Chain A
Amino acid sequence: MNTLFDKIWDSHVVSKIKDGPEQLYIDRLYCHEVTSPQAFDELRSRGIKCFRPEKIICMPDHNTPTHDQDKPIADPVSKRQVDALERNAKDFGLTYFGMMNPKNGIIHVVGPERGLSLPGMTIVCGDSHTSTHGAMGAVAFGIGTSEVGMVLASQCILQQKPKSMRISVQGELAKGVLPKDVALYIMKNITTSGGTGYFIEYAGSTIRNMSMEGRLTLCNLSIEMGARGGFIAPDEKTFEYLKGREYSPKGSEWDKAVAYWRTLRSGDDAVFDKEIAFDASDIRPMITYGTNPGMGMAIDAHIPSESSIPEEGLASFRKSLAYTGFKPEESLIGKKIDYVFLGACTNGRIEDFRAFASIAKGRRKAPEVTAWLVPGSWEVLKQIKSEGLDKVLEAAGFAIRQPGCSACLAMNDDKIPAGKYCVSTSNRNFEGRQGAGSITLLASPLTAAAAAVSGVITNPLTLL
Chain B
Amino acid sequence: MKQKFDTIISTCVPLPLENVDTDQIIPARFLKAVTRDEKFFGDNLFRDWRYNSDGSPKKDFVLNNPLYGGCVLVAGRNFGSGSSREHAAWAIAGYGFRVVISSFFADIHKNNELNNFVLPVVVSEGFLQNLFASIDKNPKAEVKVDLPSQTVTNLATGESEKFQINGYKKYCMENGIDDIDYLLSQKSAISAFENNK
Contact = CB atoms under 8 A, between A and B. Distances in A.
Interface of A: 14-15, 17-21, 23, 25, 34-35, 37-38, 41-42, 46, 48, 51, 62-63, 77-78, 80-81, 84, 126-128, 142-147, 149-150, 153-160, 162, 192-193, 196-197, 223-224, 226, 228, 292, 312-313, 315-316, 319, 409-411, 418, 428, 430-433, 436-437
B184 A428 contact: no
A128 B22 CA distance: 11
Contacts of B111: 143-144, 147, 159
A10 to B, nearest CB: 13
A46 B86 CA distance: 20
B139 to A, nearest CB: 18
B19 interface: yes
Contacts of B39: none
B193 A25 contact: yes
Given A162-B107, A312-B18, 5 more contacts: A23-B186, A143-B108, A223-B82, A418-B53, A432-B27
A197 B16 CA distance: 23
Contacts of A37: 34-35
Contacts of A410: 28-29
B22 to A, nearest CB: 9
A17 B168 contact: yes
A41 B34 CA distance: 9
Interface stretch (B5-13, B66-74, B146-154, B175-183): B175-183
A23 B18 CA distance: 32
B167 to A, nearest CB: 3
B84 A156 contact: no
Contact of A128 (B77, B83, B129, B184): B83
Interface of B: 16-19, 21, 23-24, 27-29, 31-32, 34-36, 48, 53, 76-78, 81-87, 89, 104, 106-108, 111-112, 115-116, 125, 129, 166-169, 178-180, 182-184, 186-187, 189-190, 193-194
A196 B108 CA distance: 10
B27 A436 contact: yes
A52 B116 CA distance: 25
A35 B189 contact: no
A63 B32 contact: yes
B34 A147 contact: no
Nearest to B32: A77
**Chain A to chain B: the 6 pairs with minimum beta-carbon distance, closest first:** A20-B168, A19-B167, A144-B86, A146-B115, A142-B84, A154-B183
A428 B23 contact: yes
A193 B77 contact: yes
B190 A153 contact: no
A228 B107 contact: yes
30 contacts: A18-B167, A18-B168, A35-B31, A51-B187, A126-B84, A144-B89, A144-B115, A147-B115, A150-B180, A153-B180, A153-B183, A154-B180, A159-B111, A160-B166, A192-B19, A193-B78, A196-B106, A226-B81, A226-B107, A228-B107, A312-B77, A313-B18, A319-B17, A411-B31, A418-B53, A428-B83, A432-B23, A432-B24, A432-B27, A432-B48
